Amino acid sequence: MDGEVRTVTGKVLALLGAFTPECPELTLSELARRAGLSLATAHRRVAELVAWGALERGADGRYRVGLRLWEVASLAPRGLALREAAMPFLEDLYEVTHENVQLAVREGLELVFVERISGRKAVPVWTRVGGRFALHATGVGLALLAHAPAEVQEEVLAAPLQAYTPKTVTSPARLREMLAAVRRNGYAVSDGQVTTDAVSVAAPVRDGSGAVIAAVSLVVHADGAQPAALAPLVQAAARGIGRACGSPGGARVFPREPIAR
């Protein structure tokens, strides 16, 4: 099952990849099965991971991701550095609207949420920091996909597009039109595509060279939502984050663009 064709590194990565948001704690047997390893091999590799701090073993014998791994992951420049640069603008956007605010980056054919601020009375969202999601359905995903390389867009359009609600756009032709509108208007709208009770308005974040490095969004209740009115707020936040990320060392040396109140 875990023959010579698999490297030690591959086996370790398979063990770490066995954890999911739905299964954050696993027994040794579950880890071995999910990673496709023999129990003996899993035992050796897991022991090494526990000794280093990548995994922790609870009193019940189940394993979970350790803090050491989180410490290393927090050093990712598109994670910690981007979040630090973006947070003042995300907070401004939240204070103006008291709605859900999200920040995401593209990772291959998916997006990864790197930060979120949730409003107490805001519409529930599926967002989880560090969580992945499809590019074609969310506001941030549409903003990122619209500015992704052509080969990425074509690969997404060629693959089956999952429908999360009856309003999710699964037609490649219609999605092409939407991506063109994002580039033309400077913002994206996802109306009921992930959950029918939510509308997301997102804008791309550009660095000093003009490259799109992230996307920021507001997610509001569908009832009474006015995307065109929300778009300038989201775009102002995106421009502020972009200036911060485009400055030397990622430090915020430009004054923040005020968000209209």
Tell me the pLDDT tens digit for each residue of 171-221. 999 999 999 999 999 999 999 999 999 999 999 999 888 899 999 999 999
Range of the domain at 31: 8-72
Question: 53-93, pLDDT tens digit by residue?
Answer: 989 998 899 999 888 887 777 666 655 678 888 999 999 99
Task: Return d(Cα 222, Cα 226) in angstroms, integer.
Answer: 9
Asked whether residue 144 falls in the same domain as residue 180, the answer is yes
CATH number for 212: 3.30.450.40
pLDDT band at 257 (very low <50, low <70, confident <90, very high): very low
Residue 248: the pLDDT is 39
Give the Cα-Cα-Cα angle 205, 208, 211 (nearest 5 degrees): 55
Hey, is 227 helix, strand or coil? helix
pTM: 0.71
Check whether residue 111 and residue 192 sit in a common domain.
yes
Count up the domains in the chain and report the number: 2
Residue 255 domain-assigned (yes or no): no
Q: Would the CA dihedral through 236, 165, 125, 245 be positive or negative?
A: negative
Instruction: Find where tokens 């997301």 sit.
Output: 200
Q: Is residue 261 part of a domain?
A: no
Whether residues 85 and 47 share a domain: the answer is no
Question: Which residues, 6+ apart, have CB-to-CB distance to 94 below 8 Å?
Answer: 101, 117, 119
